[in-house]
Amino acid sequence: MTISLFLFYILAFVATAAAVMVVAARNPVHSVLFLILAFFNAAGLFVLIGAEFLAMVLVVVYVGAVAVLFMFVVMMLDISSVRMRGGALQYLPIGLLVGIILLVELVLVGGTWTLAGSEIASPSPPLDSGVTNTEALGRLLYTDYFYAFQAAGVILLVAIIGAITLTLRERGAIRRQDISMQVHRSRAEAVQLRKVKPRAGI
């Protein structure tokens, strides 16, 4: 057994166990921590197959943003795990059905991969050996798929603006600062002189 195969088994076992604990853990914060552990092990598997860019994106995006943000949301909302798991049994049949379908699809894909022989099992590498994975993805995105990549960025920007617009609520009781009106007001509007009588209020 080689070192890479041994590391594969270790990372795959820990990632699978962490994924099971994400669902089985009673505390939502523990579930998020197990999710972060599963992401790190999946990133290690990407490194083993030579996809270091995908491993970096998985750690930076999912662990650094999604998982940490989810943990902060769970901690701030103070979600009751007992109430959240109260209606979990009613979704058990459809969950088992989806799991069985996914298992059958994985078995069919694995069987097709094995029966196809060396044509699918060992494809020829499409890239030169001197080009790294990150450089190859950069060349592909910014040459052949440049317009599609920019269009995807514009769509994500529109989605962010739409989400902010839909969730923004105006509150009438809150006094907001208008800097432009403060700068352009005159002295007569800003200063008001009053003659105060002795022992009397304004």
129 confidence band (pLDDT: 50, 70, 90): low
Percent of the chain with pLDDT over 70: 77
- Average pLDDT of every residue of the chain: 77
- Rounded to the nearest angstrom, the gap between the alpha carbon of residue 29 and the centroid of all alpha carbons in its chain is 16
Q: What's the chain's Rg over C-alpha atoms?
A: 29
Tell the burial category of 47 from Cβ atoms under 10 Å away from its Cβ (0-12, 13-18, 19+).
middle
pLDDT at site 122: 46
pTM value? 0.55
Could you read off the pLDDT of 48-95 as tens digits, one per residue?
887 788 888 888 888 777 777 777 777 666 655 555 555 666 767 777
HSE value, Cβ hemisphere, 13 Å, CA-based, for 49: 13
How does pLDDT run across 143-186, given as a tens digit for each residue?
Answer: 888 899 899 999 999 998 988 888 777 766 777 788 888 888 88
pLDDT of residue 112: 61
Cβ distance 67 to 39 under 8 Å?
Answer: yes
pLDDT given at position 83? 59
Which residues make Cβ contacts (< 8 Å) with residue 22, sequence separation at least 6?
31, 34, 35, 38
Identify the residue whose tokens are 């699918």. 120
Concatenated DSSP letters of 108-141: HHHHHHHHTTHHHHSPPPSS-TTS-HHHHHHHII
pLDDT of residue 128: 59
**Residue 46 clears pLDDT 70, i.e. is over it:** yes
Tell me, what's the pLDDT at 163? 83
Instruction: Give the model's pLDDT for residue 121.
Output: 45
Q: Which is more confidently placed, 132 or 184? A: 184
CATH number of this structure's domain 1-86, picked from the four choices 1.20.120.1200, 3.30.300.210, 3.90.580.10, 3.40.640.10: 1.20.120.1200
Confidence of residue 47 (pLDDT cuts 50, 70, 90): confident
CB 54 within 8 A of CB 132: no
The domain locations on the chain are 1-86
Residue with tokens 């990133």: 43
End-to-end CA distance of the chain: 90
